Structure formats: C-alpha cells, structure tokens
Amino acid sequence: MNLLDNLSDWFAGLLPRERLIMAVGAGLLIVAAIYMSLLPAMQKNLELEQRHKSLSADIQWLREQSQVVGRLDSSCAGNTIQNGKKIDVITRIVRRNQLKLLGFEQKDSPLLSFSVSGSSPNRILQLIHQLTCQGLALEALDISSSGAAKVTYSADIEVINVD
C-alpha cells in the first residue's frame, strides 16, 4: 500500500496537463498491451480461416470427382481371379484367345516372360487385358508382324504378379 500511496501523491503533485498526458499514456499502454496479447490469436485465426477455405475447396472438388469416379467401372468387375499356378492361368488364357504359346520362362521369382503368336494383334491386346484382370501387371510388350504371305503376329510379353 505504501507504493500505491507514493504513486497517488506523485500523481496529485503533477500539473493538470501532465496528469492528462500520463493518463492518456497509461491508456495507450494498456491498449497496446491488450493488442499485443491478442495479436497471436488473431494471426492464428486468420491462418485457420485460410486453411478452412482451402479444405472446403478440396472437399467440394472431391465431391465433384466422386460422381466421375462412380461412373468409372472396371471392365474386370465380373471376372474372378482363377485358381492355380500363374503359368497354368496364362496358358488357359492364351488358348482361350486362340493364340499359340511359343515359349515360357520365369526369369525372376515374380517376373514371368513368354511369347505368343496369332493371326490378329487385337487378340494379343485382349490377352493382355485378361491377364491384368487375373492380377498380372504388364512389364514389357513387344508385338511384331511377319512379312510372309499370311501375316502372323508374335508378341514377347513380360508380366509380374501383383497379388
């Protein structure tokens, strides 16, 4: 209380204009202290509002894209992955597409390499599609045609099991 009494006496001893200047200065000091204490919260609020706008725009875009994704349908939807060794599955699919299996080699553990021949390159592409529906990813494809009177197409194919 002694300190408060000393400040009151000192303030009472000032001229009226000095008291006014001190009161205005103290008021400005209080306002500045309040502003400085609220400034980090206001900056954080501004950052959060900007982030909210960005995330809202992302959500809106995702909602728009969900309709597009819903229309995309895998052409493998009705196919089930066949049981058995992948070599046997590949052989069945090659025969189903009326192609001739020329050679089969398993280079690495997951990598399967084989050659086929047939009368139509479309059948080879259909074979690739059916292989992907069986959980095999295409690694390499080389299709070539023969220059003979009866054109035949041969393909060297490398697939990897993605199951």
pLDDT tops 80 at residue 68:
no
Tell me the average pLDDT across 58-86.
73
* Residue partners of 62: CB distance under 8 A and separation at least 6: none
Q: Are strands 136-145 and 111-118 parallel, antiparallel or unpaired?
A: unpaired
d(CA 28, CA 156): 83
| CATH T-level topology, domain 86-161 | Alpha-Beta Plaits (3.30.70)
Of 146 and 50, the structure prediction assigns the larger pLDDT to: 50
pLDDT tops 70 at residue 149:
no
pLDDT tops 70 at residue 77:
no
pLDDT tops 80 at residue 107:
no
Tell me the average pLDDT across 98-112.
83
Predicted confidence at residue 27, as pLDDT, reads 94
Grade residue 45 by pLDDT with cuts at 50, 70 and 90. very high
Closest CA to 93 of 50, 138, 62, 124: 124
Q: What is the pTM of this model?
A: 0.52
Backbone angles phi, psi at 155, to 5 degrees: -135, 135
Mean pLDDT score of the chain, rounded to an integer?
Answer: 85
d(CA 24, CA 21): 5
